[in-house]
Structure 1
Amino acid sequence: MKLRWIGAVLLSAAAYYVYLPLPSTVSEPWKLMLLDAMVVSWVEVIEAHSCSSVRVTDSLLGGVPARVFQPIGGKKLKRGVVYFHGGGWALASGRMRSYDLLCRKMAEDLDAVIMSVDYRLAPEAVFPEQYYDALAASRAFLSAEVRQRYGLDPERLCVSGDSAGGNLAAAVAQELGQDGSLEVRFKAQALVYPVLQALDFYTSSYQQNHNVPILYRPVMAQFWLQYLGADPGLAPLLLANNHSSLDQAHLPSQVRSKLNWTSMLPAERRKDFRPVVRAEGTPGVLAAVPGLTDVRAAPLLADAAVLAGTPRAYVMTCEFDVLRDDGLMYVRRLRDAGVQVTSDHHEDGFHGCMVFAYPPIRSDVGRRSMDRYIRWLDQNL
């Protein structure tokens, strides 16, 4: 019965994707299609795999559940990374096979302690609860108690995450960068295809990749509304950019300038796409959903002075990802604020590729992106 069900899922997916247009240069399109079918069909959560060189335990970090990956042996003082998983603030866990394997590899290759945080998820928890969990876990990670318990080097600590987790990592880096009471600060922030704004659903990457798996444009709008605890019926307004029309009094020009992709992106990323800016929109949306302009939810909107207080950064982006321009605009804004940034763009990449670097479905760009991410951490932490 189970095999017949799996077969039906795969055959249905194959029949659907035959008619789904994909960019001709995307890396290994059939693997991308199969990955998308699997993600839509189920989320595989497993217990940790055995690994003789890494000890894995479950603990609390600032009161938030976390899985801790500790390398056995090596240097006495370890590098440390606190990691936030993706999943639209509503899905996934650090216990998932893909994240478990990623964190094990990070711990082993970097001789580092990795703490993967299981923050609360929507719809049971909504903004700012996920943000508060990430902030509490990060403060605890930097504390003398945790550093001493796990032998962390106070000069070599990083906050990181992918997709929605990259959003949380960026928001945490901004908040703690402004906290003058901290004895120890993050040396680095590593953001993997982060989601950073919800005011413009017509960036060039949203227009180019609206139908590219795994993250579709309408799905991202629904993730945002669920995260912000808003009416899901507002999705058509967001997808039409009615919430960011020129007549919205809550959006002054200085806010709009922080996500003006026509001036912030190079021509090869803008391509021939044109911005979609409504003269008149739907009144009251921003007032009803204030999180849309809250920098804790949308780190791209932070002031330059806040960005300047964040640590050196790594930002991974993928060509075939609706969130590509979020990351590239953040690279530009960080650099303009004087932050040292490495922009790692994958021309054949797609959203979520890094966590699909292992069998049974191993993508070449997945393994390559993971290797480059870990290499940056090794060289900058």
Structure 2
Amino acid sequence: MLQKAFKRYIDSFRGFTKEIWILTLITFINRAGTMVLPFLSKYLKEDLHFTYSQVGWVMVCFGSGSMIGSWLGGKLSDKIGFYKIMIFSLLTSGLLLISVQFVTSFEGLCIAMFGIMIIADMFRPAMYVSLGAYAKPENRTRAFTLVRLAVNLGFAAGPALGGLIIMGIGYKGLFWIDGASCIISILIFALLVKEKKKSPYEDHKNFEEKIVKSVFRDAPFWVFLFGSYVTALIFFQLFTTLPLYHAEWYHITEFQTGLLMSFNGLLIFFLEMPTVTFLERKKVNRLKIILWGTFFVSLSFFVLLFDNWVGILVISMVFITIGEMLNFPFSNSFAMSRAPKGHEGRYMALFTMSFSLAHVTSAKLGMEIISRFGYNANWIVMGTLGLLSCASIIYLKRMVLKNK
């Protein structure tokens, strides 16, 4: 029985092209080095002694730059190709991340984070388009999942190591490692992967996929973007308010917070690909899967209201991980499936911009609620927003069925 389960697990990783595996490798290297993000709010609060409001504003600049970068990356991917954008983005942002450690003023950090994120997040829509170009049509959802797996495996290693680095040499070491990982990963990509001029993404076999003249006239896609934005808004509390909550409410260390993040990454490593493969084999409706994923993310915040036992942090992490596994791979796939040929960059730009906008509002909203009303009020707001996202996905499902 165990041998059969292991064989199925291995089989779920078969059928990918060489380029997809290289993209997965560089994503892992890059994400393992991304130790700044989970600890950024703590770095600003504890090392630079910013107020909650100032931390929120730095995160607003972080997210605003991310939004502009996402749109530019998608637009330029359609114009000059994803390959050049990916190399420029990671190489330049790597150098900038190393230098940002020397900026310590509030105004300086707002400007620096804004600029870095414009360049850094040009990478994301370009990378999504590259998956559409290098993956076989039947493997696209699994290709998105494989790259997400690399992201989460990187996060499994990164935060725990990041916690140790903070305790050993301080926050400055994180910026060096993050910057270096960007540069190393994109050099590997440039050496091993040849540029592919055109995306062969032409198939639109699923009934959800409707070709429209402009992304701005694709009404179901905009409802989908709203649901994605709200889900991302509450999910990003994992990197902003939750690390502070761990320290201030339960008095746990950076290393223990890192271990909780690593637990999230390991669960995804072992369970996400088999889960996606199983759901695809059973031909379960993508929007139904996205709906259940959003519900579990919402539930992960409601359980935090039981705040007299530290073990509730593990239960919450399990729920948010289940939600993440169900929601994000199929959301990526649904977004790409709406894109007509030649417009993949624009669609994926708007999709990634919904996450960037969530960065803008998530940290600021969460920090303001906590400073005025406390942590429990924040968990109630976030959980309720999750239910609102569920409602939007139900409405989207009806729109798609009507279009059918």
Measured against the shorter chain, the TM-score band is under 0.3
Q: How does the TM-score come out when normalised to structure 1? A: 0.24
The structure richer in helix per residue is 2
Q: How does the TM-score come out when normalised to structure 2? A: 0.23
Q: Which structure exhibits the higher relative contact order, with contacts defined as CA atoms closer than 8 Å and separated by 6 or more residues?
A: 2
The structure richer in strand per residue is 1
